[in-house]
Amino acid sequence: MSRIRSVATSALGVSRRTVLAAAGAVSLSAGVGYALRPTDSEAATNPAGTGEAPVAHSRQATGAAPSAPYTKGTTLASVAAPRGSSGYRRLGDGPGWSRVVRGELAAAKSGRAGRRTTLAAFVQLTDLHLQDVQHPLRAEFLRANAVHAWRPQEALTVQGAISLVERVNALKGAPVTGAPLGFVMTTGDNTDNNAHSELEWFMQVMSGGRISPNTGDPKHYEGVQNSGLKLYWQPDATTRDNDKALGFPHLNGFLAAAIREVQSPGLHLPWYSTVGNHDFLALGCFGTHADPYLAEAAIGGKKLMDVSAAEARKLQDAVKNAKDPHGVAYRDLLKAHARSMRPVTADEKRAPYTPADYLKAHLDPAYQGHGPVGHGYSTANLDAGTQYYAFRISADVIGISLDTTDACGMPNGSIGTAQLKWLDKTLKDNKDSYAVVFSHHTSTTMDNTWPDPARPGERRHTGAEVVQLLTSHTNVLAWVNGHVHENVITPHQASGGHSFWEISTASHVDSPHLARIVELADNKDGTVSVFTTLIESAAPHRTDFADLSQTGLAALYRELAYNAPGASKALAGNAADRNAELVLKKG
C-alpha cells in the first residue's frame, strides 16, 4: 500500500492425466508442485494461448511431514504481545489465536476431518517493503503533518524479512493437513521505492546470500536518523527527540548495526513473485519513469529531510485525492527546497528499475534459489511487456498471478482489458482444475483507472469487475492478496451460487508483522475447506537492547513497529480474519 507484468498463454488446460504422466505420477502428498509456463515461442507468437504449456517440477519441502494438526511455530501457539500499559511497550510471549470456522458460503459438516484429502498447501508473504532508507527520493518529511508517515523501524526491513524466511524454512509442513508445503508466493510491494538497491536485496533475501543493506557511504549511515532533527528517532544520539519523549530507547551503535552485512539462507521452497505498486512506482504512488529530474535525483547527492507541516499536508492531499499520478507536486516540492537539502553520498544503485529490470532479476540464474526458473515469469514476459502468468500448483489446482498496478500512477490498482480477458480464458481452459488467484491489490482497492501509458487506449477494470468475473466461474476457491496491511477475509457469492473467499494478509512492515499458510482440502462431502494460519518471523518476541546482532535486530524490528507513533493497532484484524477454516461448496 502507499506510503511490472507472463504472457502466460491460456494454454494451461492440462488434464490431470497429462500432469501425472509428466510428473511420473508423483502425488501432491509427496510434496511436488507443478509449474506451468509457456515456452518462449508459444508466448511470443501465440498470445491467444493454444496448445499445452510444458510442465516443470518444483522441489519439495525438506523433512518429513509432521503428525497433523500442529501449532508450534505458528500464531496458534503464541503471538507477540505488549507488556505494560503505556509509553514504549516491550513485547513478550502472548497467547495464540484460535482457529475460527466460517460457514457463510457453506455449512461445515461433521466428520469432515476424517474424510478430507489435501489439494495443496503453500505460504503467502506480502508487503515486505524492503527499504533503502538512505535513498534521496523518500518522503520521510511527510511526518511533519502525519506522524505515521515515517516509521522508526524502517532501517530494519531486511533483517526482519530474513527472519521471516527463517520461520518459513523451519516449518515442517502444513499445520492442519500435515502436507508438505509446495511453494511460497509473494503478493507484492516486495520493495518500497522502486530502487535497484531494494530489488537486489529482495532477490537475495528470497534466494539466499550475503546482503549489505546500505547505499551511499560504504561505512556510515546518512539519513534522517542521524540528522539531528527531533522529528525523527535519533537512536545513537542522546538528543531528546519526539520519539524518545514517548519512551523510545537510546541505542548506541544501532545505525552501524542496521547497515552491517547480513546473511539470508534463502527459502528452502520454490517461490513465485507478484508485483505491487511499490515495485513499479516511486514512493508507491508516482509514475515518474519518464521524468529526467527525478531519475537524476534518485542517484544524486542531495536529500530533503524537513518541510513545513503545510507543505507535507499539500503533498499528502495530492496522493489522497489521486489527482497527481505523475508526481508533479512532489517534483515541484523537491525543486523548491533544492537549497535546503542535506548532502548524502551519491549512488547509482539507487536508480529506479523498470518492469524489464524486474523480470530480468527474476530470470537471473544468480537468484534462482530453489526455483522455479523466473519465479513464475519467463522471457516471454520481456517480449510482451506483461507481468501476469499462471502456473500449476498441483494436479488439481492452478495458480494465477495478476498484475494489478496502474502504471500511470497512484497507490490503488486496476487491470487492463487484455489481462481481464486472459484471466477469463485461463479459468475456462482449466475448468476441471480448482484455481487460486494471487494479486497485490484487494477487490476494494482496485478503483484506480488512470490509463496505462503503454496502452493508452485500453480500458482499465475495477475490483468489482474482477469479483464479477471470478464468481462467474465454478472453479475459483480463493483470491489471495495484500496491499491494505491488514488481515481481512471476505466471502464473495454470486446470485447463481458460485462463490470464493478473498484472503487479504497483513504486511511485514507495519505491526503485527505476519505471513500466512494456506491449505486447500476436499472434504469429500460436497465442500472444500481453505485453512489459513498466520505465522510471525523466527525472531524471539522479547528484545534485548544490548543485542544488535542480526537476530536481535529482527526482534527489535517487530517491537519498534508495534510502538511506532500513529500506528494502527487494528491491522491484525478480527479473530475470523486470522486463523480460519473457510468452507465453500464444490462447483
pLDDT of 12 strictly over 80: no
User: What is the pLDDT, as a whole number, of residue 290?
Assistant: 81
User: What is the pLDDT, as a whole number, of residue 67?
Assistant: 57
Side-chain-side CA neighbours of residue 186 (13 Å): 30
| Cα–Cα distance for residue pair 95/523, rounded to 1 Å | 30
User: What is the pLDDT, as a whole number, of residue 65?
Assistant: 45
User: What is the pLDDT, as a whole number, of residue 27?
Assistant: 26
| Cα–Cα distance for residue pair 579/362, rounded to 1 Å | 31
pLDDT of 370 strictly over 50: yes
DSSP string, 72-121: TTSTTTEEEEE-SSSSS--EEEEEPPPPEEEEEESPPPTTHHHH-EEEEE
pLDDT of 2 strictly over 60: no
Cell 462463490, residue located: 499
User: What is the pLDDT, as a whole number, of residue 221?
Assistant: 98
With a CB cutoff of 8 Å and minimum separation 6, the contacts of 308 are: 144
* pLDDT tens digits, 255-295: 999 999 999 999 999 999 999 999 999 999 999 888 999 99
Mean pLDDT of 542-559: 98
User: What is the pLDDT, as a whole number, of residue 495?
Assistant: 82
User: What is the pLDDT, as a whole number, of residue 373?
Assistant: 97
Phi-psi region of 156 (alpha: psi -120 to 50; beta: other; left: phi over 0): alpha
Helices 355-363 and 196-207 cross at an angle (nearest 10°) of 30
| Cα–Cα distance for residue pair 278/161, rounded to 1 Å | 16
User: What is the pLDDT, as a whole number, of residue 19?
Assistant: 30
User: What is the pLDDT, as a whole number, of residue 1?
Assistant: 55
User: What is the pLDDT, as a whole number, of residue 139?
Assistant: 97
pLDDT interval class at 56 (50, 70, 90):
very low
Mean residue pLDDT across the chain: 90
* pLDDT tens digits, 165-177: 999 999 989 999 9
* pLDDT tens digits, 491-539: 999 987 799 999 999 999 999 999 999 999 999 999 999 999 999 999 9
Strands (E) located in 157-252: 184-187, 209-211
pLDDT interval class at 57 (50, 70, 90):
very low
Element (H, E) at 237: none
Closest residue by Cα to residue 543 from 534, 535, 552: 552
Contact 112, 173 (CB under 8 A): no
pLDDT of 35 strictly over 70: no
Point out the least confidently predicted range of 39-43, 340-344, 513-517, 530-534: 39-43
* pLDDT tens digits, 215-229: 999 999 999 999 999
Closest residue by Cα to residue 395 from 8, 13, 15, 9: 15
Closest residue by Cα to residue 404 from 507, 301, 509, 275: 275
| Cα–Cα distance for residue pair 368/66, rounded to 1 Å | 28
